[in-house]
Each structure stands twice: as structure tokens, then as C-alpha cells.
């Protein structure tokens, strides 16, 4: 898995050099993630109960109740920070302070993980200010430290998931919103969860955020000279979603990487008033 991710990252950087600044730091973290062995236990849910939950639009877990291994994630966060101290970053002082916090302050990492899962942006900002780091950097490191645990959980519950029966614009596993979409070679649209990376089918002409289906409310734009990518937007809720059309590429990286490699499209969407 790790090797696979690394080779996708190297190929993306080769084929689309502007993606390098976003992908290179992540490449370093992927190496460190390879040695994380989280212990994730999940509960079995009776099929009948699960069917009802699904019909009612309840994901398998809510973000705050995801049974993740915070100890493994805290260990990994420490490794990330220790590694970044030697990376020649401009914010090295903040990285050092954060590392001290993870080692000295009681349950500092746990507080960060809980804030991330709760989507409590204010709490993340306060913690980032404590150590003088950009909140986005701390958020990215915290989320990435949770990834091996989340991947374990996804493996453990893959049989419980009946994604083809799922009708919602949020993730069937954890209830989070999508951060990216793709058109499969069949033309079918899939959404990709911003937290757990789960993918599930969703109608092409429907906003995943507010369910608007009227053609006149929905639209898309493309970046110049960038075939295969579109930004779909909704005039009703002003949200957008980046979309990769797999037909336009010989090889497509996992969507978490395509998402990192297309940050310029987020900027473009935001410049156009979407969020
Ligand atoms: Zn999810
Ligand atoms: Zn909408």
C-alpha cells in the first residue's frame, strides 16, 4: 500500500510538476505511516439494524464515535513532528513546540484528534496558536496521523458496508462530506470522503451538499488546458466539488492524492465565490 502510494506520488510529480509542493511533504509522511500498526476493534452490527440505519440515512459511525486507536495516532504524530524538525521548514520553532506538547502536556494529541473529529475549527486554531503553528498545518498533521487507524477500521467494516444502497451525499462510514469526486470509466459518479477515504456512488446531476437537482442551479467550470478535471458547483448552497474523469487518464492515483495534487482548483473555486 505504502509503496503503491509512493509510486503514484512520484508519477504525479513527474507528470504534473506544479503538484510537487503539495505532494512532496506528504510523501515523507507516507514513509513514516508504513510502520504504524494501530489496534482497531469494531462492533458487529446486526444486518437488520444496519438495513434500517441505512434507509434512514445513518452512517455506520458518527465522526466522534469512530473507534480509532488514538495511542497509535499520537505516536505517529510525534514521529511526524520529530521528522519535520530536520526538514528545513520556516515554522521549525512551532514544530518543536508542538513536539514538546505531545510529549509533556497530558493528552495534548488526544485533544487534537477529538477536535478534528468534532470539526471544531476553533479548538484546532487555539491549539495551533499555543504552539505557534498555522492551524492548517496542525490539522493536516493530525488528520494524517489518524489515517492508518482509519484505514484499519475501513478494512474491518468493509463487509458491513453496502455502498450501492446508500443514497446520501455524506459518507456511509463516518458521515463526513466529500472532498473530491470522480467519474468512473462507466460514467458513474463516485464521491470520496474527506476523512476516511471511503467512496460511494452518487447521481451525476445532484448537489451532494444540499441535494439540489435542478439543472439551472448546477454547473461546472474547467481549468485552462487541464483536460479531465472539472469543478462542479451549486448556485443554491454555493459549494463545489472537484471531479476527475477517469476516462481522460491512463492511470489515476487514489483520490486522496488527486485531491492534494489539485489544490489550484480549490483556489480557483474559492476565487469564484464557492466554498
Ligand atoms: Zn468517511
Ligand atoms: Zn448545493
pLDDT tens-digit map of 108-135: 999 999 999 999 999 999 999 999 999 9
Helices (H) and strands (E) in the chain, counts: 10, 6
Cβ atoms of residues 209 and 239 within 8 Å: yes
Cβ atoms of residues 118 and 64 within 8 Å: yes
Q: Does residue 207 carry a pLDDT above 90?
A: yes
Cα 20 → chain centroid: 18
Q: Does residue 137 carry a pLDDT above 80?
A: yes
Question: What is the pLDDT at residue 94?
Answer: 97
Question: What is the pLDDT at residue 158?
Answer: 86
How many whole angstroms from 71 Cα to the centroid of ligand 1?
21
- How many other C-beta atoms can be found within 10 angstroms of the C-beta atom of residue 275? 11
Nearest ligand by distance to the CA of 177: 1
Give, rounded to a whole angstrom, the gap between the first and last alpha carbons of the chain. Answer: 32
How many whole angstroms from 189 Cα to the centroid of ligand 2?
16
How many whole angstroms from 201 Cα to the centroid of ligand 2?
17
Q: Is 34 helix (H, G, I), strand (E, B) or coil?
A: coil
pTM: 0.94
How many whole angstroms from 94 Cα to the centroid of ligand 1?
30
How many whole angstroms from 266 Cα to the centroid of ligand 2?
16
Dump pLDDT digits (tens) for 25-52: 899 999 999 989 999 877 777 888 888 8
Q: Is 204 helix (H, G, I), strand (E, B) or coil?
A: coil
Nearest ligand by distance to the CA of 206: 2
How many whole angstroms from 225 Cα to the centroid of ligand 1?
32
Share of the chain above pLDDT 70, in %: 100
CA 68, CA 66: separation in Å to the nearest integer? 6
Cell numbers at 215, concatenated: 439543472
Residues 235, 252, 227, 267, CA torsion sign: positive
E strand segments, the chain? 178-183, 189-193, 199-201, 218-221, 229-234, 240-245
Dump pLDDT digits (tens) for 251-268: 999 999 999 999 999 999
Dump pLDDT digits (tens) for 61-86: 999 999 999 999 999 999 999 999 99
Averaged pLDDT score across all residues of the chain: 94
How many whole angstroms from 206 Cα to the centroid of ligand 2?
8
Question: What is the pLDDT at residue 102?
Answer: 96
Dump pLDDT digits (tens) for 147-200: 999 999 999 988 878 788 899 999 999 999 999 999 999 999 999 999 999 999
What Rg do the C-alpha atoms of the chain give, in angstroms? 19
Nearest ligand by distance to the CA of 117: 1
How many whole angstroms from 223 Cα to the centroid of ligand 1?
28
Res. 249 pLDDT band, cuts 50 70 90? very high
How many whole angstroms from 222 Cα to the centroid of ligand 1?
27
Cell numbers at 184, concatenated: 468512473
Cell numbers at 218, concatenated: 448546477
CB-based contacts of 4: which residues, under 8 Å, 6+ apart? none
CA distances from 260 to 150, 173, 246 (A): 18, 22, 17
Nearest ligand by distance to the CA of 176: 1
Question: What is the pLDDT at residue 190?
Answer: 97
Amino acid at each position: 500500500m505504502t509503496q503503491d502510494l509512493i509510486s503514484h506520488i512520484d508519477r504525479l510529480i513527474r507528470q504534473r510538476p506544479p503538484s510537487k509542493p503539495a505532494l512532496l511533504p506528504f510523501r515523507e509522511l507516507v514513509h513514516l505511516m508504513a510502520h504504524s500498526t494501530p489496534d482497531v476493534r469494531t462492533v458487529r452490527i446486526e444486518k437488520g439494524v444496519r438495513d434500517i440505519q441505512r434507509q434512514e440515512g445513518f452512517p455506520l459511525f458518527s465522526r466522534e464515535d469512530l473507534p480509532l486507536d488514538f495511542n497509535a495516532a499520537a505516536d505517529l504524530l510525534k514521529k511526524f513532528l520529530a521528522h519535520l524538525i530536520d526538514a528545513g521548514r520556516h515554522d521549525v520553532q512551532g514544530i518543536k513546540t508542538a513536539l514538546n506538547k505531545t510529549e509533556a502536556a497530558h493528552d495534548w494529541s488526544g485533544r487534537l484528534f477529538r477536535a478534528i473529529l468534532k470539526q471544531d475549527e476553533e479548538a484546532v486554531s487555539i491549539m495551533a496558536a499555543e504552539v505557534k503553528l498555522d492551524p492548517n498545518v496542525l490539522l493536516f498533521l493530525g488528520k494524517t496521523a489518524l489515517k492508518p487507524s482509519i484505514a484499519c477500521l475501513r478494512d474491518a467494516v468493509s463487509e458491513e458496508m453496502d455502498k450501492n444502497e446508500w443514497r446520501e451525499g455524506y459518507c456511509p462510514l463516518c458521515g463526513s462530506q466529500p472532498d473530491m469526486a470522480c467519474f468512473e470509466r462507466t460514467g458513474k459518479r463516485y464521491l470520496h470522503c474527506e476523512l476516511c477515504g471511503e467512496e460511494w456512488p452518487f447521481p451525476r446531476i445532484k448537489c451532494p451538499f444540499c441535494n439540489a437537482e435542478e439543472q439551472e442551479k448546477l454547473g461546472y467550470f474547467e481549468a485552462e488546458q487541464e483536460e479531465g478535471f472539472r469543478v462542479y458547483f451549486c448556485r443554491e448552497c454555493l459549494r463545489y466539488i472537484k471531479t476527475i474523469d477517469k476516462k481522460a487518464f491512463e492511470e489515476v492515483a487514489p483520490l486522496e492524492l488527486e485531491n492534494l495534487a489539485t489544490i489550484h482548483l480549490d483556489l480557483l473555486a474559492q476565487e469564484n465565490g464557492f466554498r
